[in-house]
Structure 1
Amino acid sequence: MLLGFLKDILLSSINLLNGTSSWLVFSYIIAGLLHDVITPARFHKSLGNTKISSILKATISGMCLPICSCGTIPLGISLYYSGAYVGPTLAFMASTPVLNPIALILSYGLLGKELTMINVVAGFLLPFIIGIIGNNLSGDELRKPNLEEEIMSASLEQTESIPLLEKLKSGIHWAIHDLATVLSKYVVLGMLFGGFILTVFPDSFIQKYLGNPSMLSLWNVAILAALMYVCAVGHIPFIAALIASGASPGAAITFLMAGAATNIPELLSIYKMIGKKTAIIYGLVISIFAFSVGYLTNLWLMPGFEPAINFNRIDRSIESANKFLFTLPEPLKYLCSFIVFLFFLKAIYPKVKDLFRNLAKQTR
């Protein structure tokens, strides 16, 4: 029985990784290409401050990318390490999955215009709220340690113009040997935990109990969704099924927002790469905000809310979303998962090597 349980966790983890690995690899490449082309000084000048305009720039940049939360991890961490403050970094990471343009198209077809409008308004407010709180409460984590010294040193060193090709090579080298290696370790560990959560709380369980409004409070929904990996696009049909099963519109929107904006791999990466305080701010603010939006949604739409089940609209929305949705063939998804797993092995190899060396010494 235990072996079957562990097998289910492993299969769920692999499915989660397959669903995100292509965007992770894509984000690693983009982060690497931009790392030395857009200098830290330029990032710092644009996003290295606590101005509202910097949060707005990060929000608009994030909402234009049709990727889910795991795909934003490398890009968001790269922003922070390139000179952006915590506020714009968190705003970028929150806006990308919540305001995903493909998700909004599907949301209109499957959830209806009321919930889509709530999702748009709330999704635009969330990055500003989390950005302002991050800038004011993150303390020493507001910016990367010794950032100003690094920017000054880089400015002094770059007396000669470096060819673009050399900058691209240097950025890719950094992405492979630093960013991807470190982040993949936390992503894979987070996926294993996510596989555990999905095994303990499968979709059928969530639909059964979330469909009964008396079983789970909005706060429990927000916490559960924040821990799970919820694809901003792929889970909208599941959210529609929840509503059809009897879940309140507030519970559905809470589950969608909290799940899309954060998950264990993302929280773990923020915790390890930026700091504990920032990870707590990110997870807690999103959970409280999603709970509040769900509560207000129920006040506005209930009683008398009717699910938007219009099959003609659904077909048109799915067809429109598919035009923008980029999906790799299954073999390439497994290849990307294998690449991420190789980075994971590279990251843990030194510690595993030291562990076996210490065990060998103890047995002598």
Structure 2
Amino acid sequence: MDSGIFVDYAMECWSVLREAAPYVLLGFLVAGLLKALLPDAWMTRHLGGRGPLSVIKAALVGVPLPLCSCGVVPAALAMRRQGAGPGATTAFMISTPETGADSLAVTWAMIDPLMTLLRPVAAFVTALSAGLAANLLPERMLRAAPALSGVAVASGCGCGGACSAAVGGHAGAMPVRPSLRARLRGGLGESFGEMLADVGGWLLVGILLAAAISLLLPPDFFSHALGGEFTSMLAMLLVGIPMYVCASSSTPIAASLLLKGLSPGAALVFLLSGPATNATTITVMTRSFGPALTAVYVASIAVCSLGFGLLTNRLYAALGYDIHAVIGVVNETLPAWMETLSALLLLALVLRALVLQRLARAAQCKGALAAPGRLL
């Protein structure tokens, strides 16, 4: 095989990474600030009951938070066990993984401002619809949330650090609130530590896939292979629901698909359904919350994603906005030196976070193995 294709692929990967890196760093900075400034106890205090206000609050709170579809499960279970209503829990489980501060920054960089606006709006409406529908379910169809210890392991998504942090903030007595400086240090440390370790690997996988799509697929692939508007959306939905992909890593994939002729509506379907759920999450949800709530969760994502996909195509057509032309020039908005420096910094931070996470898990395993000996 010609070695030139490997060189071209490596250059394409570097190009995608450079384009996304400044906005990924900005997104994790915002995520750290949110973690530092938003009290953990606020969520469970305001999300109880079956009223629509708790659902609205849960959907709004979830939009900027950078938790993946697996990572949000234990956090939602903790909320449910401390009194959050079924509607608020469901809304939080949808709006949180569908979008976040980091993924919105990357969407702005790699797609366009209109998609950046539509993405959180669609996530909020989807979460609100699912939450209101969940509140209509009779209590006998809902399953009480089990203990958290088994669920974090069962999810098996590799989100151990961020999941544990999300759950830990809701359990036990309310601690004394630390100083602003300590909260900022802790929030930014968690954002560029545990959160980046959980998301960074998947983000790099998304960049690798995006580069492969950009390099290997012909420019008119989707206009020929999936010419029908609804057909392309349904295909993205069927791919997105069982697939594990976080909100950040789905964005470069969607941008590459758009460059190959995918409609903006179909891209939005993938951006909503892909991060919102996966096969593992559906399994854990069925066991933890029951089949009725899981059915409302999945059906709401599917229906709202397709509905917003159709609406998005109509909106782009009405505005005369050619998304395929805009994507090709978005990466020119920042100086080349800033993109290069950001890409190198992001790679270094992801590598550091992954190494620290692996060392922490090894230390935990070693401590668990040594515990019986200490007891003796």
Superposition deviation, residue 85 in structure 1: 1.4
Aligned counterparts of 2:94 and 2:222: Cα–Cα separation in 1? 24
Match for residue 243 of structure 1 among 258, 282, 304 = 258
Corresponding position of 1:331 = 355
Match of residue 150 from structure 1 = none
Note the aligned Cα RMSD (angstroms): 4.2
Q: Could you tell me how far 1:217 is from its partner in structure 2?
A: 3.0
Give the SS at the match of 1:233: helix
Q: In the alignment, what sits opposite 1:289?
A: 304
Query: Where do 1:257-336 residues align within 5 Å?
Result: 257-302=272-317, 305-307=322-324, 308=326, 309-310=328-329, 311-313=331-333, 327=350, 329-335=353-359
Cα pair distance change 1:238/1:338, threshold 3 Å: farther
Query: CA deviation digits over 1:114-169, x for unaligned, max 9?
Result: 21121122122121111101111365245738x9xxxxxxxxxxxxxxxxxxxxxx
Give the partner amino acid of 1:68. Answer: C
Q: Which residue does 1:97 correspond to in 2?
A: 97
SS in 1 for 2:322: coil
Identity of aligned residues (%): 25
CA spacing shift, 1:270–1:213, aligned 2, 3 Å: same
Structure 1 Cα separation of the partners of residues 88 and 282 of structure 2: 16
Question: What aligned pairs does 1:220-231 form with structure 2 within 5 A after superposition?
Answer: 220-231=235-246
In the TM superposition, what are the counterparts of 1:134-213 in structure 2 within 5 Å?
A: 134-137=134-137, 139-142=139-142, 144=144, 178-187=147-156, 208=217, 210=222, 212-213=225-226
Quick one: distance in 2 between partners of 1:335 and 1:123?
A: 35
| 136-145 vs 113-122, greater mean Cα deviation | 136-145
**Contact 1:94 1:126 (8 Å CA) reproduced:** yes
Partner-residue secondary structure (3-state), 1:312: coil
Tell me, in whole angstroms, the C-alpha distance in 2 between the residues paired with 1:318 and 1:53. Answer: 42
Asked if structure 2 preserves the Cα contact closer than 8 Å seen for 1:218 and 1:291, the reply is: yes
Q: Whole-Å Cα distance in 2 between the matches of residues 73 and 264 of structure 1?
A: 13
TM-score between both structures, scaled by the size of structure 1: 0.61
Shift of 1:299: 2.0
Give me the whole-angstrom Cα distance separating, in 2, the residues matched to 1:321 and 1:260: 25
Runs (4 or more) in structure 1 with deviation over 6 Å come to 314-326, 336-340
Unpaired runs of 5+ residues, structure 1, are: 1-29, 148-177, 190-197, 347-364
Counterpart Cα distance in 2 of 1:115 and 1:320: 26
Asked if residue 214 in structure 1 is aligned to residue 249 in structure 2, the reply is: no
Q: Give matches, 1:72-151, under 5 Å.
A: 72-137=72-137, 139-142=139-142, 144=144
The answer to whether the 8 Å contact 2:233/2:306 transfers is yes
Per-residue CA distance 1:295-314 (angstroms, 9 max, x = gap) = 11112224762322221237
SS of the residue 1:292 aligns to: helix
Q: Give distance in 2, aligned partners of 1:58 and 1:320.
A: 37
Deviation at 1:330, TM superposition (A): 2.7
Aligned counterparts of 1:92 and 1:321: Cα–Cα separation in 2:
31
The 1:114–1:54 alpha-carbon spacing in structure 2 relative to 1, beyond 3 Å, is: same
TM-score by length of 2: 0.59
CA distance in 2, matches of 1:329, 1:94: 26
- CA shift at 1:67, angstroms? 2.4
Structure 1 residue 254: deviation in Å?
Answer: 0.5
Deviation per CA, 1:208-240: give whole Å up to 9, x if none: 565743275312321220110121012211111
In the alignment, is the contact (CA less than 8 A) between 1:59 and 1:127 conserved in 2? yes
Q: Deviations over 1:166-216 (max 9, x none)?
A: xxxxxxxxxxxx424333124369xxxxxxxx9xxx876899565743275
> How far apart, in 2, do the equivalents of 1:321 and 1:83 lie?
42
